[in-house]
A and B are shown apart, each in its own frame.
Chain A
Amino acid sequence: MPNSAVASPNELYDVLSSFDGALLSREERAHALDRFFALRSGREKPGRFWRVDLDSIAPDPGTVDATSASLQIDSHDSRVLVCDLATAARDHPQLLARAFATTGVDATKFGALARAFAGLGAFIYLRADVDCNDPITIAYAPPPGSAIFAHTIVLAEHGARATIVERIGGGEGAFFCGVSEVVTEERAQLLYAVVQHAGAGGRVISSRAMRPGRDAEVAWASAELGGDLAASDLSIAIEHPGARAEVTALFFPRAAEHVDVVSTVEHRAGEATSETLIKSAATDSGQARFLGNIRIAAHAQGSDARLRDDALLLSRNAHVDSVPALEIGANDVKAYHGATVGAIDEEQVFYVESRGIDRNAAERMIALGFFEPAIERFPTESLRSEIRRTLAEKLS
C-alpha cells in the first residue's frame, strides 16, 4: 500500500529539490522536514479502540506530486486577487509575505510537512472594504495514489468580507497534507468552509490557523465526509479585542474510517467571543476523536468562550472520544462547555414512528436533525444540501 510505511527520511529530502526555490529555499524546506520528523502529532496512540498511529505516517517519496494539476480555482469577482501560490510568490511577494508563514501553523508535525513541500496552493487577497457575495472556491483533487501538499493563504484587509470554500476530493488511496493560513485586519468578515470528500483509502491531514484583527469576525466550518483517515487541526488565535470567532466541525466515520479533529481557540486579547460547535456521529467500526481546546490568557478579561460537542453512536462498535480542555487564566470571563455522547433516543424514534414514519426513516431524520445546527453554519444552500445528501447516504 503506497504511503503507509514510514519512508526513509533521505529519499524524502531528495524530493525537496524538485520544489520551487522562489517560495522557500532548499534549506528552509529541509528545516521544515527536520521538524516533521522531530515533532510528535500529540494524537492518541493505538490502543483498545484507536487503530491509527498518526506519528508513523509519512508520504512515500515516489508518490509526491509537485505539479499543480490537482488545483482548481473558481472566483468570479474581479475585485479580488485569487491566484496560485507560485504566481503569488513571483508577482505579489510582499502581499503574500503578510500572511504566508505568519500564523505558526507549521509548528505542528503535519504543518511542518506541508511547509517542506510547499508549492501547490492558492493565494487570496481581499483589499480593504471589498465585499464579495459569491464564495471563492479552491478545490484540491490529488490523483489516485499520489501525495499532495496544499497551501491556501488568505489575506483580508480591513472591512473586507468574503466566503471561501475549500473542497478536497481525490482519487483512491491519495494522500493530502494541507495548510490554511488566514490573516485579517480589523473589521474583516471571513467564513472559511472546508468540505472534504476524499476517495476510498484516502488520507487527509490538514492544519489550519486564523488570526483575526480587531473587531473581525472569522469562522471555520469543516465537514470531514470522506477518506479512510481525516485528521484536522482548526485553530484561531485572537490577539485583538472585539474579535468574534466561530469553529464548526462535523464528521461521520463509518466502515473502518477514522476522524481526528482538534480545535483550538486562544483568547490572547480580551473582550472577544468564540463559539465552537462540534457534531459527530459514528457507525459500523467508525472511530472519531475530538479534542476541543479553549485557552484564555491571564490578561484576556471580558472573554466569552463557548464550546459544545455532541456525538451520536449508531452502532455497537462505533467509538467517539470527546475531550474538552479549558484553560482559563483570567477571572472576569464567561466560559461554557457541554458535551454529550450517546445513541439515538428511543422516545424520539417512537414519537416519529407514531406519525406514520418507519423506523429507518425516523432514525435517519433524527440523525440528520442532530447535524443540522452545524450544517446551518455552512455557506450557500447548495453546499448545505450537498452535506445533508452525503450524510443521508452514509445513514442509508
Chain B
Amino acid sequence: MSEGLRIHDLRCSVDGGEILKGIDLTIEPGRVHALMGPNGSGKSTLAFSLTGHPKYEVTGSVLLDGEDLLALAPDKRARAGLFLSFQYPAAIPGVKVANFLHAARQAERPGDLPPAKFRALLLEKMDQLGIDPSFMGRYLNDGFSGGEKKRLEMLQLAVLAPKYAILDETDSGLDIDALKDVGDSIAALRASDEGRNTGFLIITHYPRILQYVIPDVVHVMIGGRIVKTGGHDLAHRIEREGYDVLREEAGAVA
C-alpha cells in the first residue's frame, strides 16, 4: 500500500462548468504543502472535491494511503483520516461545541477515550488555542466571530488529529495574534505523537501564514491548474511579485 494522499488527474465541474482541469498532487505523511493562487483559481473547489461536497461533480482518482477516496461518502472520507478546516464553517444552533467534538471523535475513533479523558484533552487543546473554556457550552459556530470560528476549526484539527488536513484559507480574516495561535497549534499537533505523520495542504491567498508554518512544498494554482511547484522561496517570490508574473508564465506555457 502506497502511503500519501495521491491526487491524479482530478477534474471537477459545477453546473456544467469545469473548474478543476486536471490536478496532480501528492501529499506525503508528515509533510506540509502550501497551495497558493489568486481568488477564483479553484483552490476551495479542490478542498470540497477531496472532502466530497455533494455540489461538485468530480472525476479522476484520489487515494488516501491506498484507499479510493472518491468512492466514499463524506463521513467515510473523514473516518479514513481526511480533515477540512472550512473557510466558512456552518453554524449549528442547539449543538454544543463539547458534544459535537465528542461525537466527531467517537465517530472517527470509536471508544478510544472515556468522557472524562476526552474532556481533559479538550480543555488542554482549548488552552493551547487561547479558547475560553466557556466555549464548550456554546452552540457550534452560532454567533461566533470570524476569528472564533477559525480557532474552533483548529481545535477540531487538534482533537481529531487526522492523517491529512486541508486548511482552506484558515488565515483569512485573522489578526496577527490569532494567526500566531493557529500557527502554534499546527506546530503543536506536528510535535505530538498523534499528529507527527499528519500531512497538510494549506490553502492560502497570502503568504503570511507561511511564516508560522514553513511549507516543504509550495504549489501555485491558476485557472484550475497547478502552474508552478517549488520550495518555500516560491512563496517569497509571490509576496514580492504577485500572481501576475506567474499568470503570464502559465499563459506562455498554455
A interface residues with partner B (beta carbon < 8 Å) = 345-348, 350-359, 361-362, 365-366, 368-373
Residues of A within 8 A of B147 (CB): none
Interface string of B19-36 (1 = CB under 8 A from A): 000000000000000000
Contact, CB under 8 Å: A346 / B104: no
Residues of B within 8 A of A373 (CB): 93-94
Contact, CB under 8 Å: B103 / A357: yes
Residues of A within 8 A of B52 (CB): 353-354
Q: Does B115 touch A at the CB level, under 8 Å?
A: no
Which chain B residue lies CB-closest to A376?
Answer: B94
Contact, CB under 8 Å: A355 / B94: no
Contact, CB under 8 Å: B139 / A354: no
Contact, CB under 8 Å: B93 / A369: yes
Contact, CB under 8 Å: A356 / B78: yes
CB < 8 Å A-B pair total: 81
Nearest Cβ in chain B — how far from A181, in angstroms?
A: 33
Contact, CB under 8 Å: A366 / B95: yes
Residues of B within 8 A of A351 (CB): 86, 89-90, 92
A352–B107 CA distance with the chains assembled, in angstroms: 11
Residues of B within 8 A of A372 (CB): 93-95, 139
A358–B106 CA distance with the chains assembled, in angstroms: 12
Query: What are 20 inter-chain pairs, A to B, with CB distance below 8 A?
Result: A347-B90, A348-B90, A348-B92, A350-B90, A353-B52, A353-B78, A354-B52, A354-B78, A354-B86, A355-B75, A355-B100, A355-B107, A366-B92, A368-B95, A369-B95, A369-B140, A371-B94, A372-B139, A373-B93, A373-B94
A356–B51 CA distance with the chains assembled, in angstroms: 11
Contact, CB under 8 Å: B139 / A358: no
CB-CB contacts below 8 Å: B59-82 with A: 73-75, 77-79
A350–B49 CA distance with the chains assembled, in angstroms: 12
Which chain A residue lies CB-closest to B95?
Answer: A369
Nearest Cβ in chain A — how far from B159, in angstroms?
A: 10
Contact, CB under 8 Å: A345 / B90: yes
Residues of B within 8 A of A354 (CB): 51-52, 74-75, 77-78, 83-84, 86
Nearest Cβ in chain B — how far from A67, in angstroms?
A: 42
A369 contacts which of B107, B139, B156 (Cβ < 8 Å)?
B139
Residues of B within 8 A of A358 (CB): 73, 75, 107
A350-B53, A362-B75 known; A356-B108 Cβ under 8 A: yes
Nearest Cβ in chain A — how far from B110, in angstroms?
A: 10
A368 contacts which of B53, B86, B94, B108 (Cβ < 8 Å)?
B94
Q: Does B111 touch A at the CB level, under 8 Å?
A: no
Residues of B within 8 A of A371 (CB): 94
Q: Does B160 touch A at the CB level, under 8 Å?
A: yes
Residues of B within 8 A of A359 (CB): 73, 75
A35–B92 CA distance with the chains assembled, in angstroms: 47
Contact, CB under 8 Å: B92 / A369: yes
A359–B51 CA distance with the chains assembled, in angstroms: 14
CB-CB contacts below 8 Å: B115-173 with A: 139-140, 156, 160
Q: Does B54 touch A at the CB level, under 8 Å?
A: yes
Nearest Cβ in chain B — how far from A355, in angstroms?
A: 4
Residues of A within 8 A of B75 (CB): 353-359, 362
Nearest Cβ in chain A — how far from B141, in angstroms?
A: 8
Interface centre among B86, B90, B94, B107 (most CB of A within 10 A): B94
Contact, CB under 8 Å: B90 / A353: no
A373–B89 CA distance with the chains assembled, in angstroms: 21
Interface centre among A354, A361, A369 (most CB of B within 10 A): A354
A380–B122 CA distance with the chains assembled, in angstroms: 27
Contact, CB under 8 Å: A356 / B104: yes
A376–B89 CA distance with the chains assembled, in angstroms: 25
Knowing that A347-B90, A358-B107 touch, tell me 9 more A-B residue pairs with CB under 8 angstroms.
Answer: A348-B92, A351-B89, A354-B77, A354-B84, A355-B160, A359-B75, A362-B75, A369-B94, A371-B94
Residues of A within 8 A of B78 (CB): 353-356
Which chain A residue lies CB-closest to B142?
Answer: A369
Residues of A within 8 A of B79 (CB): 356
Interface centre among B77, B84, B91, B107 (most CB of A within 10 A): B107
A28–B82 CA distance with the chains assembled, in angstroms: 72
Residues of B within 8 A of A369 (CB): 92-95, 139-140
